Amino acid sequence: MKSITIQGTKRESVGKKSTKALRDAELVPCVVYGGEAPLNFSAEEKAFKGLVYTPEAHTVSIELDGKTIPAVLQDIQFHPITDKILHADFYQLSDDKPVVMEVPVRLTGRSKGVVAGGVLRQSFRKLKVKAIPANLPDEVVVDITSLKIGNKIYVGGIKAEGYSFVHPDNAVVVAVKMSRNAMKGAVVEDDEEEEVVAEEGAAPAAEETAAE
């Protein structure tokens, strides 16, 4: 998995006044959990660009006081109006300790149901997975080729090697729904079948009339 480096500076004070001063200076208050004790630091907001504003999943190398701390982003808060980053929580990685993180879902193939006029509905763009750092996947690949109209792919039906999903097995990841066009096509086909049946049923009556 790709990694992004964030240069950090230790925070000596964590009060509201100090936090406001950091934000005014376009710095983000951050915390790293998972070590011996929570570690408070700040980082430039622009350093988060490649981590937050991308569909890809990344681990993080936090450089702090000459040390490098491997971590993953656990939570991030944005201002409700300006979308500026207000706070970020990280979790320190250990080689033998499982961690939970979100990774993107990539669909492959062309659904049979979509070809027939159905509509593809993707419920999850990202899925939470749990694994030791070495087994964290860059993405979860889901083949939708066999999906027909009315079919669904559940979390429990996705093959996972070296990691597990932090979702119920019955959570729907992607489905193909009946579209209006597909419904109209089905109605037309039904009408045509009824006309054929009616014509076939009328033939004996005509023969009986001729016989009389």
Distance CA 89, CA 76 (A): 6
Would 201 be classed as within a structural domain?
A: no
What pLDDT score does 122 carry? 96
Residues 83 and 125 grouped into a single domain? no
- Please give the radius of gyration of the chain, using alpha carbons only, rounded to the nearest integer: 28
Residues 53 and 87 grouped into a single domain? yes
What pLDDT score does 180 carry? 66
Q: Which helix (H) or strand (E) holds 81?
A: none
Distance CA 158, CA 142 (A): 7
Would 212 be classed as within a structural domain?
A: no
DSSP symbols for 116-159: TT-EEEES-SEEEEEE-GGG--S-EEEE-TTPPTT-EEEGGGS-
Q: Residue 4: name the closest of 65, 55, 73 by CA.
A: 73
Residues 115 and 83 grouped into a single domain? no
Residues 14 and 67 grouped into a single domain? yes
What is the domain extent for residue 117? Answer: 101-178
Residue type, 43: A
Residues 108 and 78 grouped into a single domain? no
Report the domain count for the chain: 2
Provide the CATH number for the domain around residue 11. 2.40.240.10
Is residue 99 within 8 Å of residue 133, measured between CB atoms?
A: yes
Q: What is the pLDDT of residues 143-160, one digit of tens each?
A: 999 999 999 999 999 999
Q: Which residues in the chain come in under a pLDDT of 70?
A: 180-212
Would 66 be classed as within a structural domain?
A: yes
